Structure 1
Amino acid sequence: MSILVEDRARVRTLTLDRPEALNAFSEALYDATTEALLAAADDPDVAVVLLTGNGRAFSAGTDLREMQALTTDPNYQRGKHGFNGMIDALASFPKPLICAVNGIGLGAGATILGFADLTFMSSTARLKCPFTDLGVAPEAASSFLMPQLIGRQNATWLLMSSEWIDAEQAKEMGLVWRVCAPDELMAVAREHAEKLASKPISSLVAVKRTMTEPLRTAIADARERENACFRDMLGGPANREALAAFAEGRPADFTKLPAGA
């Protein structure tokens, strides 16, 4: 089982549970997370979803070993939903979604915060969008959602630099709402989740719909642009060098790539 599900006081807590892999998203975890979100959306007894990770990480993003297999083996078994299915489920999730970032959030472990309605973060957690380190394009509508959420210049640094962002920087940017001591994170996030969950579900859904509906077309357009760029760059010179460097345990060297790569 790669995701844990717990119900209490109309709050469904979903815990990413691949601690040995820093909760990196394998195809199986993408599928499990998607199914859990779809089930929560349809469950009339669930008012709020609280998403967190087990162990030292929130999520280390896409499993790079699996990414390498997907780029080199045309017969590699893909999941039922995969990354795009999970993002579909997040983009259409009708109820309040609260994220409790307990540890590192890397790649998809950071960009999914663009779909959170509230984000709480441990003071020891860090976030990173390593797109330029991997020689790929943004994902999960982050090219639209991050400028909306944190402003263009903050988004530029987050999406282009591949640098770590600590909890205080994330709060200053507006990427997270509250920073908590590590041992208080889940209690504080749950307290707020249960406060929302005490309200009428129909009203929570209506508030979220009226806030997010104007963004849906822009989110879909951003994802289409990102996916086209990602397809073009996946397996390209920069991405091959990044994945080879990861597999060989060395820093990537992009300076010797063909011009424009």
Structure 2
Amino acid sequence: MTDHVRTDLTDGVLTVTLARPEKKNAITQAMYAALAEATRRARDDAAVRVILFRGEGDSFSAGNDIADFIAIGGAGEGQLTDAPVFHFLKALADLDKPAVAAVRGRAVGIGLTLLLHCDMVVVAEDALLSAPFVNLALAPEAASSMLLPHVLGHQRAFEIFALGEPIDGRTALAWGLANRAAPADQVDALAADVAARLASRAPNSIRKTKVLMRDAERLWTLMQAEGEAFGSQMRSPEAMEAFMAFSQKRAPNFG
């Protein structure tokens, strides 16, 4: 489907690697389709006990690919929720097995909101996490409008959304976005160790525990509502100005 997402199943851990390091692992629709397939496999394949998300190179993910953004922005009403990104979000909402993330470098947009669907997160101390949706005149996604305030509280979550400024890995740990913070060169090994320990636990017990802690139907309902807001903003004059300013490397003028 795409060479930019690799999967490897070893000892019950399905490692999913974003493998587009030359673009800071910015995610295309083809990559979302592959991520959706891998996440559905994690749920349905009895050989998979844990899914581990990681990025190749110096960043976890720079977020959505801008060219894909522009293409989706030109889509007609009602088409956004049919895009591969929403297949991935639905798979995340339905996932009932443990998910782990290994985060180094930049984690932007979906690179941050994906972490809200992970049960354990290992982050580099110098990683930079941000959700600059408002900077691009967009709206939150991946049920983050509920999950981020739930984790951080309203004020901190609103600051991350509205100002779009990054927080580092140490702050992410202190604020509850991560379970572990470590030097960047230790993150992958530490995350792999966490995943292996989870894979050794009683699989049905751990699945039932996760199901009791999450409301998949509520998450998916919110994702769809966010998708409508996101899609309407993508077609708005505000977003046109924000994307133009981004491409021209200037501050947007929202007048």
Normalising by the smaller structure, the TM-score range is: over 0.9
- The counterpart of 2:161, out of the listed 159, 162, 166, is 159
Deviations 1:54-82 (A, max 9, x none): 112111111112211332476xx999851
1:37 to 39, 44, 60: 39
SS at match of 2:7: strand
SS of corresponding position for 1:90: helix
- Give the Cα–Cα distance (whole angstroms) in 2 for the partners of residues 66 and 231 of structure 1: 13
Aligned residue in 2 for 1:52: 54
What's the counterpart of residue 69 of structure 1?
71
**Aligned match of 1:225:** 225
Q: Which letter does structure 2 place at the counterpart of 1:92?
A: D
Q: Is contact 1:4–1:17 with CA below 8 Å preserved after alignment? A: yes
Identical-residue share of aligned pairs (%): 34
- Tell me, what secondary structure is at the counterpart of 1:57? coil
Aligned equivalents of 2:7, 2:216: Cα separation in 1 = 28
1:112 corresponds to? 114
Residues 111/78 of structure 1: CA separation in 2 closer, same or farther (3 Å cut): closer
Q: Is the 8 A contact 2:89 2:223 kept in 1?
A: no
Superposed counterparts of 1:207-246, under 5 Å: 207-212=209-214, 215-246=215-246
Match of 1:198 among 200, 218, 223: 200
Q: 1:99 aligns with which of 98, 101, 105?
A: 101
- Aligned residue-pair number: 251
Where does residue 126 of structure 2 map in the other structure? Answer: 124
Q: Secondary structure at the match of 1:25?
A: coil
Q: CA deviation at 1:146?
A: 0.7
TM-score by length of 2: 0.92
- Mean Cα displacement is larger for which, 222-231 or 86-95? 222-231
- Looking at structure 2, the residues matched to 81 and 185 of structure 1 have their Cα atoms a distance apart, in angstroms, of 32
Distance 1:70 1:207 in 2: 37
* 1:5 matched to 2:7: yes
SS where residue 195 of structure 1 aligns?
helix
Tell me how far apart the structure 1 counterparts of residues 174 and 99 of structure 2 sit (CA, whole Å): 21
Q: 1:253 to 1:69 in 2, by over 3 A?
A: same
The amino acid across from 1:224 in the alignment is Q
In structure 2, runs of 5+ residues without a counterpart are none
CA-based RMSD: 1.9
Runs of 4+ residues over 3 Å off in structure 1? 77-81
Instruction: Rate the CA distance shift 1:96–1:235 in 2: closer, same or farther, 3 A.
Output: same
Letter of the structure 2 residue corresponding to residue 110 of structure 1: L
